[in-house]
Chains A and B, each alone.
Chain A
Amino acid sequence: MASFFNKPQAQTTKSTPKHVVDPSLQPWVEKYRPKTIDDVSAQEHTVAVLRKTLSSTNLPHMLFYGPPGTGKTSTILALARQLFGPDNFRNRVLELNASDERGISIVRDKIKNFARQTPRAQTASSDGKEYPCPPYKIIILDEADSMTQDAQGALRRIMENYARITRFCLEIANTHLLPTGSSNLWRRGCSKFRFTPLDHSSTSTRLTHVASKEGVEIDGPVIEALISTSAGDLRRAITYLQSAHRLSSSTQPPTQITPRDIQEIAGVVPDDAIQDFVQSIGIETDTDIHVDAIGKSPFEQIRNKVREIIREGYSATQILSQIHDMVVSHPTLNGKQKSNCALVFAEADKALCDGADEELWILEVALRIHKAVA
């Protein structure tokens, strides 16, 4: 009787293991994370240095810095996987990121406890491959700059004390965000690796690779649109591609992905809307949209245009950056006019970061550019 009850139970636990995500539901960013460090796109210098650690079994503390989506997390995860193999991975690597509580108490308890454990002996790996499995553990602190100041301070001692059996890998977006005291220590005690934004060709190779694996048809212009909207951030490019694919495959019948789809997903304001807007504030564009100016003062006209564009629901930062691109590369405006416009953009960007009202500031930008170019 007991065996009768036990058996199916054992089976169900086996057939539904925890933490396994259906691959079709997984975000492509996770699915196509590089498995080995040689798969990492672009960052040749970093990869070359890290490859040596694979054979030498020695690893310094590491500080990875660079803009988002350049492969910081992917690199360290791939490296750890290659060092320890799938079986040892769980007890040798601790990954903490901003969605976990990371106050001082966590640093004192969780990180310290993990750091002081002597690594367990290597167990034979189940997939039959040889892993170097060096005698240390790795603690990955993603987005380390968003940790509290206290926690960063507490981390310094732990890093020094347990350096023999634990290596830290800190990932940050900007080096200047670290507090001076700890950043000095972090800078001295860690080898630094800079991650650069991805160049055009490696982004496009990676995107084509993902697209072909998923069976998505994309052509040149679409890849161009992806690259230009993501600005060197590979994660963003791949997420956009996945969203576009979802949209296009869910319509009946499935349609091709167009560059316009990508722009809509990325929240980019369509070119003609921006051109229309820019023209109404007095900058000439190559397209010939006639603005009817009869009977209204320029102020009224600009205000109506601003209301119109805000009603369309576009975000102010996006509008701002697109007007900026247009003004900076404008063929006929002279240097002085452009510099005056640049001042306006800088002020408006700061204001928007401080949470200012969008409509007021777009109006302000429009009025001042109008004055600057008149």
Chain B
Amino acid sequence: MSLWVDQCRPRSLEDLHYHHELSTRLRSLASSGDFPHMLFYGPSGAGKKTRITCTLRQLFGSGIEKLKIDQRIFLSPSKRKLEVNVVQSNFHIEITPSEAGNYDRVVIQELLKEIAQTQQVDLNAKQKFKVVIINEADSLSKDAQAALRRTMEKYMSNMRIILCANSTSRLIAPIKSRCLLMRVAAPNAEDMQAVMQHVSKRVGFDLPPDVASKIIDDSGGNLRKAILCLEALKMQSPDLSGALTIAKPDWETYCHKVADLIISEQSPARVMEVRQKFYELLSHCIPPTIILKQQTVADRVVERVDDAIKADVMHWAAVYEVRMRIGSKKIYHLEAWVVKVMSLYKHFFYDMDLTGFD
């Protein structure tokens, strides 16, 4: 019994529910024989991965679904062992080089050269090339990206690369110019509504449209989240009637509590209290960026303060978020932001001049 998300995942390009223009393009590219390197980008839960697997199926047929998982060991220049998980079929190989951290360049160089130098052995294969899928391409280091650029041109006859990224900002220009860019936008409300109805029909129940639209509002364009949420709701109340509350993850309610703490009192003691909660969140592996981002603490704070200081709160969130990326101790910057917000709030109430503190 698998999750609905996996169970109802479209398997071929014909089954995809939205972005039909993109699907047509992919289909014609796959059948033309002149298949380029590609870069799929878009927000998470928009269906990048689904589209990639569908394209592969179109290219190679059903053989693509026989997957095996391997653990490969690479040696870094300083003879350290790096273990990387590799998912592969006869026709493609899928890696997440960011698993190797700083040494992702080694993984890219070794693996790609190895694949590029072996030709397709299976004579019945539809295509002469193999496909390499690189996940989380936007977290590749600059070195690894530089290593990719020449390989992409040189070994075009044996290999195609499909990159999968959330955004193209962190990719270097030479990589972008060597790939065909495929933008996968998040589905809009109608598209999501259609997909949810399809899923419910397939599983065998009727989904009232208003429940669906409630879930859609909550999911923010993330279809995976929406379907998971639907499944959870169905488990809770099998008939989907009455007042349904979409259960928020525990950490989200926890974040809201933190925000309320910040607003209700501004004092050093309160900062200590908030710090405890932040430690709790971080130790449960909630990425610190999420805490500063929307839908969690920052969002809640913004909701509850006056219009005049909303912009400032977000401004400092942005500033401290960058510092957090550059620095090494996340908690410092989170705390700095909390103190900043408290002082903003207090000054706003007592109507003091702030300019000296910036």
Where the two chains meet, the residues of A that have a C-beta atom closer than 8 Å to any C-beta of B are 21-22, 24-27, 29-30, 68-69, 97-101, 103, 142-143, 146, 233, 235-236, 239-240, 242-243, 246-247, 249-252, 264-267, 297, 299, 303, 307, 310-318, 351-352, 354-361, 363-364, 367-368, 370-371
Contacts and interface: CB of A to CB of B under 8 A. Distances in A.
Given A299-B310, A355-B325, 11 more contacts: A27-B178, A99-B148, A101-B109, A233-B177, A250-B29, A315-B41, A315-B168, A316-B167, A354-B322, A359-B293, A360-B317
A239 B169 contact: no
B314 interface: yes
20 contacts: A21-B156, A27-B156, A68-B174, A98-B147, A246-B36, A250-B25, A250-B31, A250-B32, A251-B28, A267-B168, A267-B181, A299-B307, A313-B185, A314-B183, A315-B41, A317-B168, A351-B318, A352-B169, A357-B293, A363-B318
A315 B184 CA distance: 12
A265 B180 contact: yes
Q: Interface size for chain B: under 10, 10 to 19, 20 to 34, or 35 or more residues?
A: 35 or more
Secondary structure call for the B interface: helix
B157 A22 contact: yes
Interface in B155-196: 156-157, 167-170, 173-174, 176-178, 180-181, 183-186
B260 interface: no
Contact of B184 (A313, A317, A318): A313
Contacts of B36: 242-243, 246
Contacts of A146: 143, 146
A267 B29 contact: no
B149 A98 contact: yes
Contacts of A367: 311, 314-315
A357 B289 contact: yes
B221 interface: yes
Contacts of B293: 357, 359-360
Contact of A99 (B28, B34, B150): B150
A240 B177 CA distance: 7
Given A99-B146, A233-B177, A311-B221, A358 B169 contact: yes
Nearest to A312: B185
A364 B318 contact: yes
Interface string B297-331: 00000100001001100110110011001100000
Contacts of B24: 251
A143 B325 CA distance: 28
Contacts of A318: 168-169
B273 interface: no
Contact of B32 (A246, A303, A316, A351): A246
A264 B183 contact: yes
Nearest to A297: B307
Interface in B127-157: 143, 146-151, 153-154, 156-157
B34 A25 contact: yes
Nearest to B173: A68
A159 to B, nearest CB: 23
Contacts of B10: none
Contact of A265 (B146, B181, B220): B181
Contacts of B310: 297, 299
Given A26-B156, A371-B311, A250 B28 contact: yes
Given A243-B180, A267-B168, A364 B314 contact: yes
B77 interface: yes
